[in-house]
Amino acid sequence: MATTVASVADICLEAKHASRELARVDTATKSLALESIADAIQARAEEILEANSADLQAAAGGDYTTAFLDKLRLDHARVNAMAAGVRGVMVLPDPVGEVLDGWRLANGLDVRRVSVPLGVVAVIYEARPNVTIDATALCLKSSNAIVLRGSSAAARTNGLLAETASSAARSQGIPAGAVSLVQGGHEDSAELATQSATVDLIVPRGGEGLKASLKGVATVPVIYAASGNCHVYVDSSADLDSAREIVLNAKLQRPGVCNAAETLLVHADIAEQFLPTALAELSEAGVKLHGDARAIAAAGGAPIYEASDEDWDTEYLALELAVGVVDSAEDAIAHVNSHGSGHSEAIVTSDVGNARAFQLAVDAACVYVNASTRFTDGYEFGMGAEIGNSTQKLHARGPIGLRELCTFKYLIEGAGQIRA
């Protein structure tokens, strides 16, 4: 496995060579490699947890948020989940070589549009060590070489995970250089983002700071797995018990992740009926509430602070929630489109027309009707795992899985045809 003992440019060049070999590796070999990675993760679970404990201990003295530390932390369940994710990817259909379309021209040429790997994918990520394994599994299954650049806060954990995955993959015939880890400073991320001769795609998975730092320097194509300022809108026709459960789940189930709800919108007709109980439960769970004037008036004694303009645009990643009252589904849609980040948005309603309007008009990668936003996740979507959730519109949107790591080429077969 390569590290920054070699230069970033050399790591990427080795990955490029490996990607050309990977493009010809068959499905059976890739499956054996992924099974070997999953087995190795479980066999080395105690080592992985020891490395993670050391990272957590070092990070505890730094200026890190609770949400960051939660993402950094591993336990036996999370280690087992990583291994299960690898096996989940292993059993998915191989996207490489899939015929996406095909036809015969009048001149007798047979044309096929076939799915092929991108080549070399670089992933720059903060905190989450599971990304090391999720991204590796997805890239190997889709015949891409991967260059990993994790957070310095997770250096020990990422180093051990990457070495484990690389060694296990090589033992089953995956070429050296297919899995590489860059362990360095911020300057290495910037250098990685300029390796346009060898790297085909960069996926940054982190906060707006990481996104901004790459936008200024990247010459490699980028898919941003960006922030999630997600909303739940409770419509006037909603089943209020179901709505309360959805709101609580979307905010509380894991508040430090990008698909957690950050804003609750409630129709004016049911605000006085719904908000007192819902806000009281949120407050009892430790959520700090910020509301507009009508939300404060309908809160029924639940502690709630006056919301500022900034609150509507804030991804808290914590036990905080903005609360607003709106007069219609159209007003809710307008609010979401003005303040949302394009990640995940939900409406709770029994009105088919309002549900359909929300689905069509809300500009987001994932739009839910009567369900929590917390399901936006490659594993939950049956994709085995994900590299991140794209809020962009070109090439990939939503969870970035196997198909999103492929492009296509045209294969044309003839019998001596020449153009007149």
Q: At what angle do helices 45-60 and 155-170 cross, to 10 degrees?
A: 160
Residue pLDDT, tens place only, 176-209: 999 999 987 778 888 999 999 999 999 988 777 7
Q: Would you say residue 104 has pLDDT above 70?
A: yes
Please tell me what DSSP assigns to residue 174: P
Average pLDDT over residues 36-63: 96
The C-alpha atoms of residue 87 and residue 271 are separated, in whole angstroms, by 46
Q: Would you say residue 2 has pLDDT above 70?
A: no
Measured CA to CA in angstroms, residue 184 lies from 7, 104, 148, 373 at distances of 10, 52, 11, 35
The answer to whether 141 touches 131, Cβ cutoff 8 Å, is: no
Among 141-155, 204-218, 238-252, the least confident range = 204-218
The pLDDT of residue 111: 98
Average pLDDT over residues 242-257: 96
pTM of the model: 0.86
Query: pLDDT class for 23, splitting at 50, 70, 90?
Result: very high
Residue pLDDT, tens place only, 258-299: 999 999 999 999 999 999 999 999 999 999 999 999 999 999
3 state DSSP class of 271: helix
Q: Give pairs for 60-65: CB < 8 Å, separation 24+.
A: 62/153, 64/153, 65/256, 65/317, 65/318
Q: Residue 208 is encoded by which pair of tokens?
A: 């707006």
Question: What domains lie within the chain, and their CATH numbers?
Answer: 8-225+387-413 (3.40.605.10), 230-375 (3.40.309.10)
